[in-house]
Chains A and B, each alone.
Chain A
């Protein structure tokens, strides 16, 4: 079992729709959870991080964490074609940004 699992996609949504990206992790000791966006051939850029169970909202993005189910998700409201990218989920045993373990990413395609 991989430490961090994501559906590789592609996940296709029309412009303006809500995109829902999911991630599961195997290490119950994980403390911090991150979503990165990576455009093809580029390095990842941080979208959000979440430490506590529940929802965390930032603009059009909402991260959801359920530690009991070992599940973290990212919702993108009012999806735009510019959101088309690969979204990487990452986890860490500590409440920080050290030694992140990444999933393989979910490719999102937003059609105009």
Chain B
């Protein structure tokens, strides 16, 4: 199957700093990638749809100025959590659909102190 990677796998930062998470499709081109967030014991919640070469589409309730998404190439999408706060601590997962299946990255555990 297709491989999606994420970097870093785990990050701890101080409140107020910005954190960038990378999502890469390793063996296919992805015009669309998705960003999810998962809090402990809760469901994956779609945050935004990342479109190569255009602006991301954010789900209702997700602050686009806080969660900046850049899909600069067909293999890379980045999510930047700006001015992170403890309530942003979560498991962030990206995914892509090269064909008839959605493949998930391994996730990034963000802890904001």
Contacts and interface: CB of A to CB of B under 8 A. Distances in A.
Interface of A: 4, 8, 41-46, 49, 88, 96-105
Contacts of B17: none
B56 to A, nearest CB: 13
Interface in B35-58: 41-46, 49
Contacts of A45: 104
Contacts of B111: none
Highest count of chain B CB atoms <10 Å: which of A42, A43, A99, A102 = A43
Contacts of B91: 41
Interface string B67-93: 000000000000000000000000101
A93 to B, nearest CB: 13
A102 B44 contact: yes
A44 B104 contact: yes
B101 interface: yes
Interface of B: 32, 34, 41-46, 49, 91, 93, 97, 100-102, 104-107, 109
B102 to A, nearest CB: 4
Nearest to A89: B43
Contacts of B100: 96-97
Nearest to B59: A99
Contacts of A46: 101-102
Nearest to B96: A97
Nearest to B46: A99
Given A96-B100, A97-B97, A98-B97, A42 B106 contact: yes
Contacts of A101: 46
Contacts of B34: 99
